[in-house]
Amino acid sequence: MQSTKVPITVAVGDGIGPEIMTQTLRILEAAGAALAPEFIEVGEQVYLAGHASGIGPEAWDSLRRTGVLLKAPITTPLGGGYKSLNVTLRKTLGLYANVRPTRSLYPAVFTRHPDLDIVIVRENEEDLYAGIEHQQTPEVVQCLKLVSRPGCEKIVRYAFEYARKHGRKHVTCMTKDNIMKLTDGLFHKVFMEIGQEYPDLGQDHQIIDIGTARLADTPERYDVIVTLNLYGDIISDVVAQIAGSVGLAGSSNIGDQGALFEAIHGSAPDIAGRGIANPSGLLQAAVLMLVHLGQHDVAARVHNAWLCALEDGLHTADIYRPETSAVKVSTEGFADAVIERLGRMPQQLAPFKAGEAAETSRPAARATAAYERPVVAQQLVGSDLFVCWSGFDPNELGGQLVRLAGPDMKLKLITNRGVKVYPNGHDETFCTDHWRCRFVAANATAATATEVGYTPVQFGQVLDLQRRLTEAGVMVIKTENLYLMDGQRAFSLGQGE
Ligand code: NAD
C-alpha cells in the first residue's frame, strides 16, 4: 500500500454536500487511502461574501498546487449576478471531458434495466454553457451556443480512446443536427471524421430526442455515448435515475493539467441537514479519483465494500424498496456499513478489479495531440442586422429598410425568431420586437457572384449601412456578418428563405 500521502483539494459544498463529504472521507481513511486533503471554501458562502464566481484566490492556489479536486455539490444562488462555480472550474482548469459511468446494481438495487452499463462522455467547456447571454430587446433574450472544431475533436477523440482502452465495443454520438446544422452539425461531422480512425469500434449517430427516448426505454443497447454539454448533462441524469437513483452516480472531469471528481447530482436542498442523503455518488467519484491517482487497491477495496453494503440491503431512502432492501439507513449508517465491509468481495454484483486498465481516466496521449489551426479563406458577403422595433407589420419595417439600404447593399429578407416574415411573409406568424434583417450586395450579377451565388461586399459598406440605419432612428442591437468559408456558405438560411 502507498505510504506517501498525495495532496488533494477538497470542497465540502452546500446543501447535502458536507454530510456526504464527511462520510466519504471517513470511508477513504478507513480504507487506507494515501491522501492529504487541503480544504477550500467554495460555493454559497463565498458567493454571498462577494465573489461572483463562488471561489476565492486561496482556493485557486490550492487547486493549482494539487491538480486534483474532490468536490461535493454546490448551490448556485439564483439571480443574475452569480456565475456557476461548476462551469467556471471546468472551463478555467480546461477539464474538457466529463465522464459519467453508470452500471446497473440489480438485483441489489431495483431497476427496470438490469443490463444497463453505459458511459456518457459529455463535452464540458462549450455549447450553451459558455454562459454568454444578453437581453437584446424588451421582449427577447439570447444565449449563445458556441461549438468549436478543437473542442469537438478533443472530446470525440477522448470518447473513442476511452472506449478502446476500456474494452468497450460501440460509440454513439447524439446531436440535434437536423435543426442546428452548423453547431451540432460540426460535432457530428467531427465524429464521422475521427471515427474513421477507429474501425474496430461500432459507431452510430442518433438525434438526441429519439436517442434519449430509446435510452430511457432500452438502455442495454448503449455502450459509450459522446455528446454536447447540455444533452450530456440531461441524459446522464436520466441514465443514473433509471439505474436506481441520481444519488448513485459519480463523474470525473478530466483535462490535460488537472481533474475534478464529483457526484452528478446537485446539493439537494430539499433533504439537506436530515442525514438521509445517499453518499454513493460522491463515493463513486472518490473511487474514480483513487484510480486516477494510481491507488487501485484502495479503489477496489472501497468499491467492493460499497457493493457488499448494497447487496446486504443497507439502503438510503432514495433507493429503499421493501422488496430489495433490508434496512433503511442514514448517510452515516450507510458509511458505517461500507466501512464494516472493507476487505469483503460482493457475491452477486461484478467486483471491481484492482489495476484494471478499464477504469483509468487519464486522457490518452492521442486525445490531447497538438492542434493545428485550419487555414480557411473567409469572404464577407453580407450582414444580418438585428433590429429592435416595436411595430407589428413586417412590410412597414421592410419598406423603410429597403429605402435605407442602398446604394451598395440591399435588403434580402427579414426573419422574426428565425422565420421569414418579409418579403411575402404569412399573416399568421407571430412577431416579437426582435427582427433579423439580412443585407447582401446590391446590383449582384452572375459575373460578380461566387459559385454559391453570393457577391462579396466590403466591410466599410456594412459599416456605412449601419450608420445610415442608426441615423434614421433604426435601433441596430447586434450584427452577425455573413461569410463564405473556402467558398461555402457558412451561415444558416432563414426558415422559408
Ligand atoms: P439535485 O440533484 O440537487 O436534486 C434532485 C432530486 O434528487 C432531489 O429530490 C434530491 O433530493 C434528490 N437527490 C439528489 N442527490 C441525492 C442524494 N445524494 N441522495 C438522495 N437524494 C438525492 O438537483 P436540483 O434540486 O435541481 O438542484 C439543487 C441545487 O444543486 C441547485 O442550486 C443547482 O444549481 C445545484 N447543482 C449543483 C451541481 C454540482 O455542484 N455539480 C449539479 C447539479 C445541480
Per residue in 189-231, pLDDT (tens digit) is 999 999 999 999 999 999 999 999 999 999 999 999 999 999 9
Q: Are residues 164 and 261 in the same domain?
A: no
- Bridge partner list, 327: 314
Q: Report the distance separating Cα 189 and Cα 124, nearest Å.
A: 19
Tens of pLDDT, residues 88-137: 888 888 899 999 999 999 999 999 999 999 999 999 999 998 889 999 99
The pLDDT of residue 365 is above 50: no
Q: Are residues 125 and 7 in the same domain?
A: no
Q: In the chain, how many domains are there? A: 3
**Is residue 476 domain-resident?**
yes
Q: Are residues 62 and 142 in the same domain?
A: no
Cα dihedral angle (68, 226, 249, 118), rounded to 10 degrees? -130
Q: Is 271 in the pocket of ligand 1 (CB under 6 A)?
A: yes
Q: Are residues 351 and 397 in the same domain?
A: no
**Is residue 373 domain-resident?**
no
Q: Is 281 in the pocket of ligand 1 (CB under 6 A)?
A: yes
Distance 146 CA to ligand 1 centre (A): 26
Tens of pLDDT, residues 440-484: 999 778 778 888 889 999 999 999 999 999 999 999 999 999 999
Nearest CA to ligand 1 atom 20: 277
Distance 267 CA to ligand 1 centre (A): 4
Q: Is the peptide bond before 138 cis (omega within 30 degrees of 0)?
A: no
**Is residue 120 domain-resident?**
yes
Last residue of a domain, one of 322, 355, 388: 355
Q: Report the distance separating Cα 73 and Cα 11, nearest Å.
A: 9
Q: Are residues 236 and 137 in the same domain?
A: yes
Report yes or no: 262 and 89 within 8 Å, Cβ to Cβ. Answer: no
Alpha helices, DSSP H, located in 218-344: 229-243, 280-292, 296-311, 331-340
In the block, which residue shows the cell 448494497? 310
The pLDDT confidence band at residue 141, using thresholds 50, 70 and 90, is very high
Distance 240 CA to ligand 1 centre (A): 13
Q: Are residues 116 and 218 in the same domain?
A: yes
Tens of pLDDT, residues 43-93: 888 888 878 778 888 888 999 899 999 999 998 877 666 777 888 888 888
Q: Is 86 in the pocket of ligand 1 (CB under 6 A)?
A: yes
Alpha helices, DSSP H, located in 15-148: 17-30, 44-48, 57-66, 85-92
Q: Report the distance separating Cα 43 and Cα 63, nearest Å.
A: 15
Q: Is 247 in the pocket of ligand 1 (CB under 6 A)?
A: yes
Q: Are residues 302 and 391 in the same domain?
A: no
Give the ligand 1 atom nearest the CA of 13: 40
The pLDDT of residue 359 is above 60: no
Range of the domain at 351: 1-95+244-355
Q: Are residues 118 and 77 in the same domain?
A: no
Give the ligand 1 atom nearest the CA of 277: 19
Nearest CA to ligand 1 atom 40: 73
Dihedral pair phi/psi, residue 401, rounded to 5°: -70, -35
**Is residue 103 domain-resident?**
no
- pLDDT value of residue 406: 81
Pocket test for ligand 1, best of 98, 237, 246, 306 (most atoms within 8 A of CB): 246
Range with lowest mean pLDDT among 18-32, 312-326, 418-432, 443-457? 443-457
- pLDDT value of residue 93: 84
**Is residue 236 domain-resident?**
yes
Q: Are residues 173 and 256 in the same domain?
A: no
The pLDDT confidence band at residue 324, using thresholds 50, 70 and 90, is confident
Give the ligand 1 atom nearest the CA of 268: 3
Last residue of a domain, one of 228, 243, 258: 243
Distance 73 CA to ligand 1 centre (A): 8
Q: Are residues 169 and 57 in the same domain?
A: no
Q: Are residues 302 and 417 in the same domain?
A: no
**Is residue 106 domain-resident?**
no
Pocket test for ligand 1, best of 267, 319, 334 (most atoms within 8 A of CB): 267
The pLDDT of residue 356 is above 60: no
Distance 18 CA to ligand 1 centre (A): 14
Q: Is 43 in the pocket of ligand 1 (CB under 6 A)?
A: no
Provide the grid cell at 424: 411575402
Nearest CA to ligand 1 atom 44: 266
CATH of the domain at 135: 3.40.718.10
Q: Are residues 164 and 82 in the same domain?
A: no
**Is residue 68 domain-resident?**
yes
Give the ligand 1 atom nearest the CA of 84: 34
Q: Report the distance separating Cα 72 and Cα 89, nearest Å.
A: 13
Q: Is 305 in the pocket of ligand 1 (CB under 6 A)?
A: no
The pLDDT of residue 232 is above 50: yes
Question: Between these two residues, 247 and 229, which has the higher pLDDT value?
Answer: 229
Last residue of a domain, one of 197, 213, 243: 243
CATH of the domain at 434: 3.30.70.1570
**Is residue 368 domain-resident?**
no
